[in-house]
Structure 1
Amino acid sequence: MPRIAVIIPAYNEASSIGPVLRDIPGGLVSEIIVVDNNSSDDTAKVAKENGATVLFQPERGYGNACLEGLAYLRTKPAEEKPNIVIFLDGDYSDYPEKMPELLYPILNNDADLVIGSRTLGEAEKGSMTIPQVFGNWLATRLLKRFYKVKFTDLGPFRAIRYDSLEKLNMQDKTYGWTVEMQLKAAKHKLRCTEVAVPYRRRIGRSKISGTIKGAVLAGYKILYTLFRYR
């Protein structure tokens, strides 16, 4: 049985992190890691009450939280390190119960990285803003043009072999994390695929797409990352 770790970056998700953790299929994963990204609410408390390992990353940024989770995994002895790492958001917009579908291509030895594509799946009305839809469209086309890899989405819900993830030497500390992983996977010639996943309106307001500033900064960072690694 493979060891599977889940990393969930979370910033002020006290109202949603409980449902996220409760919907992860029982017995499927070895450890669930919630990285509290300096929340001002009870995110950490609720996560602990629902059985998660809680880490604290005071430096804000999606990538910073993910990197903190990876740093924790590196401290484990070899026999306790995961074989696969799953990433998903803590806002309950993803469907944790779909994890087996993301894992299947890896467990079947058909892929190293699996992206849960909201574009291929059914997205609830209002779950993705116009800037998000356009940003995904543009970024995936630039990925195809610059890195010769076909994706339809930069979705946060994804699974990757741990040894493959370590080869990527992830660096981005903020909004460029997802696209960095995908373009580096292409450069390292990892086997990449997508599976359709549903997507719903998040609980609470998005810290990125919910504000003009957040959307602009995210868009800029994604484009910067795409050109940086050419």
Structure 2
Amino acid sequence: MPPIIKVIIPAYNEADSIGLVVKDIPDIVQEVIVVSNNSTDATGENAAKAGATVLREPNKGYGYACLKGMNYIAKSAVKPDIVVFLDGDYSDYPEELKKIVKPIIQDDMDFVIGARMERLREKGSMTFPQIFGNWLATFLMKVIFNAKFSDLGPFRAIKYEKLLELEMQDKTYGWTVEMQLKALKKKLSYVEVPVHYRNRIGVSKVSGTVKGAFMAGFKILGWIFKYSFK
């Protein structure tokens, strides 16, 4: 019997891209959940037209949106076997979801990261702060925790039961690194899968601003150092 897969997409003012994202998700997915994160445009309406379940989270923050999606799943009658996270800006290739979940389905891995390898990235799709921040964070995780991560990529899949075990907390920029650090702490089996990455539609709310890049870096390093003393 094929696994039940649900997708959570946090989205803040992604009206121009969200419909494309939802439509490109493979039909092996049972439900696509778009969390409109205090959007002021037609993100929710466009996601619904594309066939997604739309939730609204008034508190701005990537983690707030992800937690909203998880809370919805927890209350749903049918629980998934696998939860996939990806962004709503069309920088990820949703059709590669099959690659992301394959190690869980075929090899019984707990956790999979879509790694945005340089050779598969469109020119300009990652800013210097993103590239440097990813390098620094994964370098520190390697040195401190002997991790094998090369990226903090947002396109990721995890067994639902393992996701619950992580007891995710971060409400904003630290969500991705928190998940990876807790996966290490819980000794989850994990693997990276190379994925393509393109220039997003619209302007990034994180890497596209000095404040966003600084705050994201601060939160990411905070989580790493917090766990290094545990």
Shorter chain as denominator, the TM-score bin is: over 0.9
Q: Distance in 1 between matches of 2:38 and 2:169?
A: 20
Read off the aligned partner of 2:6 and give its amino acid letter. A
1:119 positional shift: 2.4
Q: Which runs of 5+ in 2 are unaligned?
A: none
- Partner of residue 61, structure 1: 61
Once the two structures are superposed, the pairs formed by residues 99-110 of structure 1 within 5 Å of their partners are 99-110=97-108
Q: Distance in 1 between matches of 2:3 and 2:118?
A: 27
* 1:120–1:152 contact (8 Å) kept in structure 2: no
Sequence identity (%): 61
Give the alignment's TM-score, normalised by structure 1: 0.97
Q: How many residue pairs get matched?
A: 227
Read off the aligned partner of 1:22 and give its amino acid letter. K
Mapped pair 1:86 → 2:87: no
- Partner of residue 229, structure 1: 227
What SS class does the counterpart of residue 107 from structure 2 fall into? coil
- Partner of residue 75, structure 1: 75
Q: Distance in 1 between matches of 2:163 and 2:147?
A: 17
1:147-174 residue CA offsets vs partner (Å, 9 max, x unmatched): 2211010000000000000000000000
1:227 positional shift: 1.0
- Partner of residue 142, structure 2: 144
1:73-103 residue CA offsets vs partner (Å, 9 max, x unmatched): 11023xx100000000000000000011111
- Partner of residue 16, structure 2: 15
- Partner of residue 172, structure 1: 170
1:3-59 residue CA offsets vs partner (Å, 9 max, x unmatched): 000000000000000110111112x10100000001000000000101100011000
Read off the aligned partner of 1:23 and give its amino acid letter. D
Q: Distance in 2 between matches of 1:223 and 1:103?
A: 28
1:121 positional shift: 5.2
Q: Distance in 2 between matches of 1:51 and 1:147?
A: 41
- More displaced stretch, 195-204 vs 143-152: 143-152
Q: Distance in 2 between matches of 1:190 and 1:215?
A: 29
Q: Which runs of 5+ in 1 are unaligned?
A: none
Runs of 4 or more, structure 1, over 4 Å off, are none
- More displaced stretch, 46-55 vs 145-154: 145-154
- Partner of residue 42, structure 1: 42
Q: Distance in 1 between matches of 2:114 and 2:130?
A: 15
Q: Distance in 1 between matches of 2:65 and 2:173?
A: 11
Q: Distance in 2 between matches of 1:154 and 1:49?
A: 30
Read off the aligned partner of 2:58 and give its amino acid letter. P
